[in-house]
Amino acid sequence: MSRANLGKDPEEVAAMFDGVAKRYDLVNDLLSLGRTRAWRRVATKIIAPAPGMRILDIAAGPGSSSQPFHEAGATVFSTDFSEGMLAQGRKARPYLNFSMADALNLPFESESFDVTTISFGLRNTVNYRKALAEALRVTKVGGRIVIVEFSHPTWRVFHSIYMRYLMGALPAIARKTASNPDAYIYLAESIKAWPDQTGLAQAMEAAGWSGVTWKNLTFGIVAVHSGIKR
């Protein structure tokens, strides 16, 4: 098994996710203490999928983020750069449209989608600023981006507790539950190094997104950022 480092070499990151694909949804639920599904429900409500909408789900993994869009009648394209994740997705959710895609070089024409979304994947790209610009390119004028990503708790006391869990308890739990526990050490390190809510909002604006806002979830452990293409 392999683990990536904060250099985020694409081949290393893809190989790491290949190794955890089979139990990805289960382990995420355990490590988030069951909050992952609640976070996704909030994002789905913000996106408000409906028949006729074209949604691009970047870094969709095995498709758990894409499923509610499909169920709402939207046309959803579920992409990932991990072959293992795509294989698991096609097995678990054969009704979804899975395809290989690099977030930094999306294989879609400009202005193709009403909504572009990425859940817990932007942090894993080697150049998240370029990924934000590429998402802008494929989104229609007037369309939106919705990003679900780990962030920084806003309450100082809780922030300290969370960081102790992140760097200590999370890897320990992963060693007992995950097929590649070292991957979750990378997960903890990458969350700690990720920009806070304001920092990500500023990067979105620099990439060309307008009207950027965010909603904190679970005291800011996760934030859902939204922006519009003008």
Give me the residues paired with residue 125 across strands. Answer: none
User: HSE on the CB side for 189, CA within 13 Å?
Assistant: 11
Q: Is the four-CA dihedral 104, 106, 109, 111 of positive or negative sign?
A: negative
pLDDT digit string, tens, across residues 197-207: 999 999 999 99
Q: What pLDDT sits at residue 137?
A: 98
Beta bridge partners of 12: none
In terms of pLDDT, which residue wins out, 169 or 48?
Answer: 48
Question: Could you say which architecture CATH assigns to the domain 10-228?
Answer: 3-Layer(aba) Sandwich (3.40)
- Domain coordinates of the chain in residue numbers? 10-228
Checking if the pLDDT of 127 tops 80, the result is yes
Long-range contacts of 39-43 (CB under 8 A, 24+ apart): 39/148, 39/217, 39/218, 39/222, 39/224, 40/64, 40/65, 40/68, 40/119, 40/148, 41/68, 42/215, 42/217, 42/224, 43/117, 43/119, 43/146, 43/148, 43/224
Q: What is d(CA 53, CA 75) in angstroms, rounded to the nearest whole number? A: 6
Question: Does the pLDDT of residue 171 top 90, yes or no?
Answer: no
Q: Give kind and range of the element (H or E) at residue 119.
A: strand 113-119
Q: Is the pLDDT of residue 177 over 60?
A: no
Q: According to the model, what pLDDT value does residue 191 have?
A: 84
What are 80-124's pLDDT values in tens digits?
Answer: 998 988 999 999 999 999 999 999 999 999 999 999 999 999 998
